[in-house]
Amino acid sequence: MTHAEFTRRESRWFWALLLLLGLVALAGFAAAHYMEENGHIVTGMNNRIVWGLPHVFAIFMIVAASGALNVASIGSVFGKPEYKARAPLSGLLCIALLAGGLAVLMLDLGRPERMVVAATHYNFTSVFAWNVFLYSGMFAIVAVYLWTLMERRMNVYSGRVGLAAFVWRIVLTTGTGAIFAFLVARQAYGSALLPPLFIVMSFAWGLAFFLAIQSAVYAWNGGTVPPELLRRMRNLLGLFIAGVLYMTAVQHLTNAYFARQVAFEQFILLTGGVYPMLFWVGYVAAGSVVPLVLIYHPRLGGTASVLAASLLTIAGAFALLYVFIIGGQAWPLEIFPGYEASSTFGDGQITAYAPRLPELLLGMGGVAVALLIIAIGLRVLPFAPVDERKAAVAAAAGDD
C-alpha cells in the first residue's frame, strides 16, 4: 500500500479514532493528576508494593518498543528486502511505544516535575541513571535511522545507522532487565538471567505488537499481508514465544534449586492465589501454548490466526509482568536471613494488592498515547509498508 492510499480513507473514521484515543489519553492524564493531588493512597499501592499496575503497562511498552525495532533490523542489518519495506513502520512503533511507556513511568513515580533533577544530576552507580541516557539515546538513534530510511539521498547510511540502532536496543533492553537484576534485596529479582530474559521477551512482544498493527493497517486499506512474508513472520513469532517460555522456565528452575528460594517459588507458582493463576492460565496457557498452536497447526496459520496469536501473546505478556513485578513485591523482604521477622508494619507477611481505577486509566492512557503517535504518523508520513510487487506494478502503470 502507498501513503496516498492510506490517506484516501474516509476522514471521518480517522478523526473518530483520534477522538477515541484522545479521550483515553486524557483520562490517563486526569488519573495521574488525581493521584498527584490525593496521593497514592487512592491506588492499590502501599509502602510495600510501590510499582503497581501502571508499571506493568510501562515495562511492557518499553520492552516491546525495543522488540518492535527488530523488524527494521532484520531488513537493514541482515539484508532482508521484504522486512526492509516495513522498517519505517517498525521505527515508528518503537518511538511510539517508548513514548507511551515513559509517559506512564514518569507520571506514576510521583512528582513528575522533578524529572528535571534526574535529567541534570546523575548518580552513575544507579542503573536508573544509566537508563536516562539509554532511553533518550534510543529516541535520537531511531529518529536518525528513520531519516536515512525515508530520505532517498540518505539511504546509503541506513545499514550503518541500523546496526547502531540494533546494538543500542540490545543495550537498552539489557538496562531495563538490569533494573530488576540489581535489586538483590528482592527474592523475585536479583538474577543474572533477567537481562537476557528481557531481550528475548522484547523480541516476542515487539514482533507481536508489530504484527497486530500491521494487520490493522492492511485491514484499514482493504489489503492483505503477502502470504510468504506472513509465513516467515509467523514462524519467527513462534520461535520467540518458545524462547521466552524456555527462558522463563530456566529462571524458575534456577530459583527452585536454591533452598532460600523454594518458599518464594511455591508462592508464585502454586500457593499465591492470583499469581499462580495468572502465570499458568494467563501466561503459559493463553499467552504461550495457544499462540504456538495457532502458529504451527497445519490447518491454521492464516491472517486471522496470526493476529489472534499476536493479541494473545500481548495479553500473556501483561500476565507475566503482573506476576513478575507485583508478585515479586508482595513476597516479604528477607531482612534477616535465617530469622523470622514480624512487626506491626507487617514484616514477614505477604502483602495484598488490588489495582484501582486510576492505575488502570493511567496505563491505558499510555497505550492511547502510543497509538495516537502511530495513527498520526501513518496519516502524515509514508510509514505504511510498500510491498515490492505492488510497488513494481504501480511503477509500471506510471510508465504507461
* Region of poorest pLDDT, from 1-15, 109-123, 281-295: 1-15
Is the pLDDT at 2 greater than 80? The verdict is: no
CATH of the domain at 303: 1.20.1630.10
Residue 170: Cβ within 10 Å count: 16
Give the C-alpha separation, 341 to 318, whole Å: 32
Q: Is residue 398 part of a domain?
A: no
Domain with 86 in it: 3-384
Among left, alpha and beta (phi > 0; psi -120 to 50; other), residue 224 is beta
Across the chain, mean pLDDT equals 85
Q: Which three cell numbers stand for residue 242?
A: 518458545
Sign of CA dihedral 89, 99, 303, 380: negative
Which grid cell sits at 226? 503477502
Residue pLDDT, tens place only, 162-217: 888 889 889 999 988 888 888 776 777 878 889 999 999 999 999 999 999 999 88
Residue 159 lies in a domain: yes
How far is residue 202's CA from residue 199's CA, in Å, rounded to a whole number?
A: 5
| 201 Cβ contact partners less than 8 Å away, ≥ 6 residues apart | 63, 67, 244, 247, 317, 320
Query: What pLDDT, in 10s, does the model give residues 123-136?
Result: 777 777 777 888 88
Kindly list the distances between the CA atom of residue 202 and the CA atoms of 60, 76, 237, in Å, as whole numbers in the listed order.
9, 19, 11
pLDDT at residue 313, as a whole number: 96
Range with lowest mean pLDDT among 130-139, 231-240, 274-283:
130-139
In a domain, 151, yes or no: yes
Q: Is the pLDDT of residue 400 over 50?
A: no
Residue range 228-253: mean pLDDT, rounded: 92
- H helices of the chain, in order, are 3-7, 11-38, 53-68, 70-76, 81-84, 87-108, 115-120, 127-150, 158-181, 194-220, 227-257, 262-266, 274-277, 290-296, 303-321, 328-330, 357-380, 388-399
Q: Look at the block and give the residue holding cell 507520571.
A: 107
Question: φ, ψ for residue 339 (rounded to 5)?
Answer: -125, 155
Inside any domain, residue 133: yes
The number of CA neighbours under 13 Å toward the Cβ of 37 is 7
Query: Does residue 340 carry a pLDDT above 90?
Result: no
Give 352's DSSP letter: P
User: Closest Cα to residue 138, out of 158, 130, 261, 341?
Assistant: 130
Q: Which long-range contacts (CB under 8 A, 24 or more apart) does 218-223 make?
A: 218/1, 220/6, 220/9, 221/1, 221/5, 221/6, 221/9, 221/384, 223/1
Say how many C-beta atoms besides its own lie within 10 A of residue 383's C-beta. Answer: 23
Close Cβ partners of 167 (under 8 Å, ≥ 6 residues apart): none
Cβ distance 1 to 217 under 8 Å? yes
- 346 pLDDT band, cuts 50/70/90, is low
pLDDT more than 90, % of the chain: 42
What pLDDT is attached to residue 161?
87
- Once rounded to an integer, what is the mean pLDDT over residues 54-74? 91
Position 364 scores a pLDDT of 96
- Residue 58: pLDDT over 80: yes
Q: Which residues contact 139 (CB under 8 A, 6 or more apart)?
A: 95, 98, 99
* Pairwise CA distance, residues 206 & 221, whole Å: 23
Q: Does 130 fall in a domain?
A: yes
Q: How many domains does the chain have?
A: 1
Helix axes 357-380, 53-68, angle to 10 degrees: 20
C-beta of residue 181 within 8 angstroms of C-beta of residue 189: yes
As a residue count, the chain comes to: 400
CB 279 within 8 A of CB 229: no
> Which pTM was predicted?
0.89
Residue 394 lies in a domain: no
Query: Residue 298 carries which side chain, given as an amino acid letter?
Result: P
pLDDT, one tens digit per residue, over 297-329 is 888 768 889 999 999 999 999 999 999 999 988
pLDDT score, position 263? 85
Please check whether residue 306 lies inside any domain of the structure: yes
- For 129, the grid coordinates are 541513571
Most confident of 44-53, 71-80, 337-346: 44-53
Query: If pLDDT is split at 50, 70 and 90, which confidence band does 343 have?
Result: low
Over residues 343-363, the mean pLDDT reads 83
Q: Is position 400 within any domain?
A: no
